[in-house]
């Protein structure tokens, strides 16, 4: 069994909610990489993107993922596009059981449509943008994980937590 659990998946797939519950269920610490970046930078992700650019954000994300991966007994919730950088996957896989929250597009759309804190989703053609981004990323999520859990609008989050918990314990 690896020391940690890392959750990967598209924006709005439930990494934060599931991550918190999972950490509680397994008596582990919870860390959200985006919130950690915001804490260090003392400003929200949208502002970091606007003022310092995506590359700056990505550099910081890579550094924090590498650092947090060295901890143990933590559930790590990652930003939706962290899987694009191979170094992040390498860091995570060394110490974490990597779980892909495979949330349906319809469910993602419903969850993110009224939120404004994600720079890439502040667009007019939201549904098309989600489909386009998800099509590009899906394969990366799939090949980066140790376990896939499917989620849609009817999925009970406690069932999801339980599935991940069982799989992790048996891993």
Residues that bind ligand S3P (CB under 6 A): 11, 15, 34, 45, 79-81, 118-120
Residue 80 beta carbon to ligand S3P: minimum distance, rounded to whole angstroms: 2
Choose between 120 and 143: whose C-beta lies nearer to ligand S3P. Answer: 120
Residue 99 beta carbon to ligand S3P: minimum distance, rounded to whole angstroms: 14
Choose between 75 and 79: whose C-beta lies nearer to ligand S3P. Answer: 79
Choose between 16 and 155: whose C-beta lies nearer to ligand S3P. Answer: 16
Cα–Cα dist 145/136, whole Å: 16
Residue 82 beta carbon to ligand S3P: minimum distance, rounded to whole angstroms: 7
Choose between 19 and 164: whose C-beta lies nearer to ligand S3P. Answer: 19
Cα–Cα dist 163/5, whole Å: 13
Instruction: Give 3-state DSSP helix, strand, coil % of the chain, rounded to 5.
Output: 60, 15, 25
> Is 156 buried (19+), middle (13-18) or exposed (0-12) by CB count in 10 A?
exposed
């Amino acid at each position: 069994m690896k020391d940690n659990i890392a959750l990967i998946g598209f924006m709005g797939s439930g990494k934060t909610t599931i991550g918190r519950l999972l950490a509680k269920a397994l008596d582990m610490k919870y860390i959200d990489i985006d919130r950690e970046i915001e804490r260090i930078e003392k400003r929200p992700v949208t502002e970091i993107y606007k003022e310092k650019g995506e590359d700056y954000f990505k550099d910081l994300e890579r550094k924090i993922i590498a650092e947090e991966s060295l901890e143990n007994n933590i559930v790590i919730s990652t930003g939706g596009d962290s899987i694009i950088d191979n170094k992040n996957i390498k860091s995570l896989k060394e110490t974490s059981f990597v779980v892909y929250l495979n949330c349906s597009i319809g469910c993602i759309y419903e969850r993110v449509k009224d939120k404004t804190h994600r720079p890439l989703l502040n667009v007019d053609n939201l549904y098309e943008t989600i489909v386009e981004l998800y099509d590009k990323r899906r394969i990366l999520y799939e090949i980066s994980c140790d376990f896939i859990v499917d989620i849609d609008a009817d999925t009970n989050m406690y069932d999801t937590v339980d599935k991940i918990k069982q799989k992790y314990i048996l891993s």
